[in-house]
Structure 1
Amino acid sequence: MEQDQTIALERLINTYGDQLYRLCVLILGDAHLAEDAVQDTLLKAWKGLNGYQGQASEKTWLTTIAVNVCRDYRRLNWFRRRADEETLLEQIPAPPTSEPQDDLILRAVLHLQPRYREPILLYYWQEYTIREIAQITGEKENTISTRLRRARKQLEEELKGVFDGTALERIP
């Protein structure tokens, strides 16, 4: 049984590892903490493989674990958001099928408060629906919609004059 779990974990790492890392880097704003968060996420997934019922997709299940691990990290007393943006942006692996990243948009997203950053990342980068984001974060759908709307408004303000009104459509 443990061998089956190990094989399943290797498949999850190969399939979702880069996505989880990108998400954790962007939520935490620190590449080294993101590596730890991904390891903790995968450890929790490995321990919970027997209990995984398949009610949500594997990607949603792993994303939920990763978001919760990142939230736990942010709650710790020693956590300080002092990321070097240049290094951070260079360390984020690019999505496999996307166009080159626009660093200006990514920088603007990184400046959002975590409660606004998470829904933006999950909606635009991970391509989850509002309903799925609500499941992942444990928030109500209306809360997610409101946070997305407020985050878009903040991003449009910050990016005003740089892009036309479709700036958020360009987010990968």
Structure 2
Amino acid sequence: MDGTALVPDDLDEARAGDDAAFHRLVAPLRRELHAHCYRMLGSVHDADDALQDALLRAWRGIAGFEGRSSVRSWLYTVATRTCLDLVAARGRRALPMDLGPAASEPVLDDAPVTDVAWLTPYPDTALAVVERESVELAFVAALQHLPGNQRAALLLFEVLGYPAAEIASMMATSTASVNSALQRARRLVADRVPPVSQQRTLARLDDARLRALVEGYARALERRDAAALVELLTEDVTWSMPPLPSWYTGRDDVMGFARAVPLGDCGSWRAVPTSANGQPAVALYLDGPATTGQSGPGCHRAWSFTVLTVRDRAIASLTSFLGPEVFRAHGLPTVLA
């Protein structure tokens, strides 16, 4: 239903300047507004900033809200326009495959690229099952290739269900412009997003097989078991590790990288199964040369947060987000003692 469960006088009191009433008004919508900002921006950090800014704009403008739309629609209008300003100022978020071709040999001296705004994973524990499809990694990554107006139109229409005429009002444009933006956006997204979503793929997968994929990947790294890892992968599997620019495609090249780096002499791994973007994920902690001086003996530090994409009962893509800030965003410790 389009609206919020209000205390009868909340809207009037908020218009009169009651801060507590305003917070009661927006509280039921904060989570879904945050997810909308993430879809628009491809970054949890940017979504945090956008939501904070949008709610500040809404508070400053609440006295002028005339009630011609629901509070929910009005807040989505404010949030969308805030995100469009950020898209214009900050550009789009990327994954390594957006920057260049796959590496054919393991890149052992790969250095983080800091002048690229990287896509980040989204904590999905607060999302309902029906909402998780709209934050899947491939979908959010595809959205980043759209201009801001097409991105907003597609999300407001396809994900949130607003009619084109209302979207035109929300975006201060014409219905014809919205329909044109939708047509272009659908074509690009269709080219970049698999025809079967992860939610449908996972729903068709029995629990035992999904557990075998997630735990199998975790145990293969902990035990440096190349034979076990290769059995989990599709023939055309990809592996990327933002903010490192190199990425790998095809089972042979992926395993070449795996044997040289994570399964090589880099230290010991500990793995914690989790989830992100409506997909299974594994948080990996490392105790080895790269963490020397950062922890005591036997301490494993946050290293990579890997989101798994599944197809045909196997792992089709590994996206390993490096750095402790990803762990913090997902409520995970940065050190395992």
TM-score by length of 1: 0.78
1:71 Cα deviation (Å)?
2.1
In structure 2, C-alpha distance between the alignment counterparts of 1:138 and 1:72, rounded to whole Å: 14
Q: 1:10 to 1:131 in 2, by over 3 A?
A: same
1:91 to 123, 130, 154: 123
1:63 and 2:97 matched: no
More strand by share: 2
Is the 1:9–1:42 Cα contact (8 Å) retained in structure 2? no
1:52 to 55, 65, 70: 65
Aligned to 2:177: 143
In structure 2, C-alpha distance between the alignment counterparts of 1:5 and 1:21, rounded to whole Å: 23
Aligned to 1:107: 141
Q: Deviations over 1:90-140 (max 9, x none)?
A: 336664351642433333233323222111111122221111111110110
Q: 1:121 to 1:42 in 2, by over 3 A?
A: same
The gaps in structure 2 that reach 5 residues or longer are 1-12, 94-116, 201-337
Paired-residue identity, %: 29
- Give RMSD over aligned pairs: 2.6
Q: 1:93 to 1:36 in 2, by over 3 A?
A: farther
TM-score by length of 2: 0.42
In structure 2, C-alpha distance between the alignment counterparts of 1:104 and 1:94, rounded to whole Å: 20
Count of residue pairs the alignment pairs up: 160
1:126 and 2:160 matched: yes
2:43 to 27, 30, 51: 30
Q: 1:94 to 1:131 in 2, by over 3 A?
A: farther
In structure 2, C-alpha distance between the alignment counterparts of 1:113 and 1:73, rounded to whole Å: 12
Is the 2:57–2:78 Cα contact (8 Å) retained in structure 1? yes
Amino acid across the alignment from 2:142: A
Aligned to 1:163: 195
The gaps in structure 1 that reach 5 residues or longer are none
1:13 to 18, 23, 26: 26
In structure 2, C-alpha distance between the alignment counterparts of 1:64 and 1:92, rounded to whole Å: 23
